[in-house]
């Protein structure tokens, strides 16, 4: 009886694999030249380096003209930190998609965005260090690196 059940189970598995293969479930090509639909859609939605650079630079300028983070207390600058992180992430996506330049060109920018990510990963604004204290906080990682990235982008224009 055991051999009979094993045979039915094996037969059912073979049938399922055969039906899946015949139905084309493993194909990921779309009708537009063989590109997967998700990749084509992502490429169409990725803004240009020029657009994301301008958006990031505008976010840093807004941060500065709004007064930055004047309050030293923890938790008072989180919204501004996030407002700078979002366009930095968009810039990284655009840089990754930019075919005219390679990763070597963007390596310093990537490092600055990674430092910003490290600061944001804390999940909250830790505040400013007390005067005279040389310890850094996540504000330095996010805000300082954002300003360094803005300077780098100015020095390395992509057009």
Question: What is the per-residue pLDDT across 18-72, written as a single tens digit (0 to 9) for each?
Answer: 444 444 544 444 444 444 555 445 455 778 999 999 999 999 999 999 999 888 8
The 10s digit of each residue's pLDDT in 100-148 is 988 889 999 999 999 999 999 999 999 987 765 666 789 999 999 999 9
Look at residue 6 in the predicted model and tell me its pLDDT.
Answer: 45
Q: What one-character-per-residue DSSP string does the chain give?
A: -HHHHHHHHHHHHHHHHHHHHHHTTT----TTTT--HHHHHHHHHPPPHHHHHHHHHHHHHHHHHTT-----STTSSHHHHHHHHHHHHHHHHHHHH-SSS-HHHHHHHHHHHHHHHHHHTT-S---PPPTT-----HHIIIIIHHHHHHHHHHHS---
């Amino acid at each position: 009886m055991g051999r009979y059940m094993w045979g039915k189970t094996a037969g059912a598995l073979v049938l399922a694999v055969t039906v899946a293969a015949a139905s084309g479930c493993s194909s990921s090509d779309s009708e537009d030249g063989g590109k997967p639909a998700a990749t084509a859609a992502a490429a169409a939605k990725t803004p240009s380096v020029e657009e994301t650079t301008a958006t990031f630079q505008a976010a840093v300028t807004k941060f500065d003209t709004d007064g930055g983070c004047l309050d030293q207390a923890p938790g008072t600058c989180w919204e501004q930190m996030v407002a700078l992180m979002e366009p930095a992430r968009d810039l990284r996506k655009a840089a990754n998609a930019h075919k005219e330049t390679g990763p070597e060109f963007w390596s310093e920018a990537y490092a600055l965005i990674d430092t910003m990510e490290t600061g944001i990963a804390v999940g909250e604004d830790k505040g400013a260090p007390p005067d005279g204290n040389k310890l850094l906080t996540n504000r330095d990682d996010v805000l300082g690196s954002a300003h360094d990235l803005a300077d780098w982008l100015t020095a390395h224009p992509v057009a």
